[in-house]
Amino acid sequence: MKLKNKVALITGASRGIGRSVAKGFAHEGAKVFLVAHRDEKALKQTIRNINDSGGEAEGGLFDVGNHEEVRRIADAIERRFGGLDIVVNNAGIIQPTPILEIKPEQWEQTIRTHLHGTFYCTVEMVNRFMKEKRSGKIVNVAAAAALRGYYGVADYASAKGGIISFSLNASKELLRYNVQVNVIVPVARSRMIDSLAQYYGGHFGATAGTKIKNVAAPEVLVPSFLFFASSDSDYVTGQVLTADGGSTA
């Protein structure tokens, strides 16, 4: 029970990586507040599964790219749990599009959801819950596209690269408050992988799409997130861990 009596906020928690991490944290004793943007049915199912298994979960639909919405998340956490120990910034979107066809609206929406959302949730939750008690864990989610070139994801990769840079700087500034900030670069089955596989299949052939999609289930990532969220990483901050089965090696 590495997270017993801890409270964790997990964004993008309705499906895929976020859902797996939520279940894994609850299994390790954490009380979890789960956030999604649109998929209320899937979010409610995840919350129900955790509660039915003896865990403690609550959550709702919020737009993490909106600062006022993030403040509402913090209010809800404070009412329900009274405090917060862990933030997993996992919320994101992807719309694979050739770089010369990306419209300003798409660029702004992608950056806002990924990068603004990570910034808002980090700053709001640290100020509200972590700074005074001198304790906290921030786990931010980047992507392999931030580390090497891909096709059709210039906006997504830029946002994820920004998350890495933001996290490195945040880790330095939050040292004084004993808040560790780390990054995971995950590769596992998710709706984002499905979108990318469809794009590659349409542009480069079925084999290319199948190769993108042929990755592990998201459950394999839980130990990496658990490491950064638990006391095991109290002496680790400002690090980027690629949990990708060697795809970026």
Checking if the pLDDT of 191 tops 80, the result is no
Distance of CA 152 to the CA centre of its chain: 21
Q: Which among 30, 39, 21, 44 has a CA at the least distance from the CA of 1?
A: 30
Mean pLDDT of 156-185: 98
Q: Please give the DSSP secondary-structure letter assigned to residue 217.
A: -
Under the banding of pLDDT at 50, 70 and 90, the label for residue 125 is very high
Residue 185 pLDDT: 97
Task: For the beta carbon of residue 48, count every other beta carbon within 10 angstroms.
Answer: 11
Instruction: Say what the pLDDT of residue 87 is.
Output: 98
pLDDT at 189: 74
Q: Is the pLDDT of residue 172 over 80?
A: yes
Does 156 qualify as catalytic in the annotation? yes
pLDDT score recorded for residue 99: 97
Task: For 210-246, write each residue's pLDDT tens digit.
Answer: 767 668 899 999 999 999 999 999 999 999 999 988 8
Structure tokens at 182: 């780390």
Please check the confidence at residue 114 and state whether its pLDDT lies above 90.
Answer: yes
**Superfamily of chain region 7-187+218-242:** NAD(P)-binding Rossmann-like Domain (3.40.50.720)
Provide, rounded to the nearest whole percent, the portion of the chain with pLDDT above 70. 97
Catalytic residue among 156, 177, 199, 200: 156
- Rounded mean pLDDT, 142-171: 95
**Is pLDDT at 165 greater than 90 in this prediction?**
yes
* Rounded Cα gap, residues 97 and 153, in angstroms: 6
What confidence score (pLDDT) does residue 106 get? 98
Model confidence pLDDT, tens digit, residues 28-75: 999 999 999 999 999 999 999 999 999 999 999 999 999 999 999 999
- In this predicted structure, the answer to whether residue 207 has a pLDDT above a threshold of 90 is no
Transcribe 18-69 into DSSP letters. Answer: HHHHHHHHHHTT-EEEEEESS-HHHHHHHHHHHHHTT-EEEEEE--TTSHHH
Confidence of residue 150 (pLDDT cuts 50, 70, 90): confident
Residue percentage of the chain with pLDDT more than 90 = 84
pLDDT confidence of residue 196:
72
How, if at all, do strands 56-61 and 240-243 pair? unpaired
Distance CA 15, CA 61 (A): 13
- Domain map (residue ranges) of the chain: 7-187+218-242
Q: What is the pLDDT of residues 99-113, one digit of tens each?
A: 999 999 999 999 999
